[in-house]
Amino acid sequence: MKNTYLLGVLLALGAAILNGSVGIFSKGLFASHLSPTAVSFYKCLIAFIALSVFFLFHQEFKHQVFRLKKYLKQMALCSFLGIFVLYYFETTAYHYAAVPFVVFMLLGSAVFTTFIFSTLLLKERKNVLKVVGFILLTAGICVMAVAEGAASGQFSVGALFACIAGIGYGLFLVFTKKFKLTGGLALIWYLMLFGVIYLSIPFYIEGLTVPEMNTYPTLLALAIFPTIGGFYCTTKALAYLEANKVQFLELTEPIFATVFAFFVLREMVEGIEWLGASLILIAIYIAEMTPQKEMKKSNIT
């Protein structure tokens, strides 16, 4: 039990590190005249193509893909939430707001969603510390949203899109756990397949565009590291930890995203937003205290 818990923690943190690079890659592509819609579509398409090539040369991967065919409806729903809603609205949010702000708001709203729906749908029990962490988390999200709106003098569109993306991601985590969807890269292949279909709709409506040659290395990195690597670590972590626990651990993503954004884009959380960010991080710490105590208690008994 101890080893599987540690493995789940490491996988969730690995996802946080990989996902922390999404913002800097996305903004780099915006500078190359790619729209948020185009970026979200192409990173999903490239990830799907890369996995399809891998599929052709690995027999075990083929078996896993065929085994998952009976879960097509469930995977279609999870892909809509975890690929379309997450990718489309997250990428659009980066167009309107700084990377650290978007990441804090997105993952904060995702934890808010998983806390509620993991209780309703998965019947996961919540103790006092988790409830306290949830309250602090909610306060942190509100402070950051209000601070961003006060700074701009108007309602923050970036905050709205980030929260929508977070809700989609939170529901994705819950339904992946509820449907007991496992399979690693094979599962991601299906998620990307449906994701390409979903994301092609707004891309077609906006107007199809072809990326310039100098954008392909960044698109490839965006597709391989956070898109494939991040999802792989997340889906694997869900096999070892509760859905809300995975999301709490992945809330370390803002730390990595903030560091990346500061050194690459010179963006950072400012003013009273630091209070909201601090409340969110404290909420993570409080929630993370619980499993350690429970694990020690179970080891004694």
pLDDT in tens, 174-198: 999 899 887 778 898 999 999 999 9
Tens digit of each residue's pLDDT (9 = 90 or more) over 214-252: 999 999 999 999 988 887 888 788 888 887 678 677 777
Residue 69: other Cβ atoms inside 10 A:
9
SS3 call for 189 = helix
First to last CA, the chain: 13
Tens digit of each residue's pLDDT (9 = 90 or more) over 123-148: 888 788 888 888 888 888 888 877 76
- Determine what percent of the chain is predicted with pLDDT higher than 90: 41
- pLDDT of 76 reads 97
- Residue 206 pLDDT > 90, yes or no? yes
- pLDDT of 74 reads 96
SS3 call for 280 = helix
> Length of the chain, please?
301
Instruction: Look up the domain containing 54 and give its range.
Output: 2-300
- Determine what percent of the chain is predicted with pLDDT higher than 70: 90
Encoded amino acid at 193, one letter:
L
Instruction: Give the chain's domain count.
Output: 1
- Look at the alpha carbons of 154, 158, 159, 165 in this order and tell me if their dihedral is positive or negative: positive
Indicate the pLDDT class of residue 294, thresholds 50, 70 and 90.
low
Going by the DSSP 8-state scheme, the letter that residue 176 receives in this structure is H
Q: Name which residue leads in pLDDT, 279 or 148.
A: 279
Encoded amino acid at 44, one letter:
C
Separation between Cα atoms, residue 238 and residue 11, nearest integer Å? 9
Residues with Cβ within 8 Å of residue 268, at least 6 apart in sequence: 98, 100, 258, 261, 262
- Residue 293 pLDDT > 70, yes or no? no
Tokens of 7: 């493995």
Indicate the pLDDT class of residue 298, thresholds 50, 70 and 90.
very low
Separation between Cα atoms, residue 52 and residue 286, nearest integer Å? 41
Encoded amino acid at 35, one letter:
S
Separation between Cα atoms, residue 279 and residue 204, nearest integer Å? 41
Residues with Cβ within 8 Å of residue 266, at least 6 apart in sequence: none
- pLDDT of 250 reads 76
Tokens of 143: 């402070």
- Residue 44 pLDDT > 90, yes or no? yes
Tens digit of each residue's pLDDT (9 = 90 or more) over 83-120: 999 999 999 999 998 898 898 889 889 888 988 998 89
Most confident of 25-29, 152-156, 231-235: 25-29
Residue 72: other Cβ atoms inside 10 A:
12
pTM of the prediction?
0.84
Indicate the pLDDT class of residue 14, thresholds 50, 70 and 90.
very high
- pLDDT of 289 reads 63
Mean pLDDT of the chain, nearest integer: 86
- pLDDT of 55 reads 85
Tokens of 272: 């009273």
Indicate the pLDDT class of residue 81, thresholds 50, 70 and 90.
very high
**Residue 71 CA to its chain's centroid (Å):** 22
- Look at the alpha carbons of 72, 74, 75, 76 in this order and tell me if their dihedral is positive or negative: positive
Residues with Cβ within 8 Å of residue 172, at least 6 apart in sequence: 78, 81, 82, 85, 86
Separation between Cα atoms, residue 139 and residue 152, nearest integer Å? 20
What's the rounded mean pLDDT across residues 17-21? Answer: 90
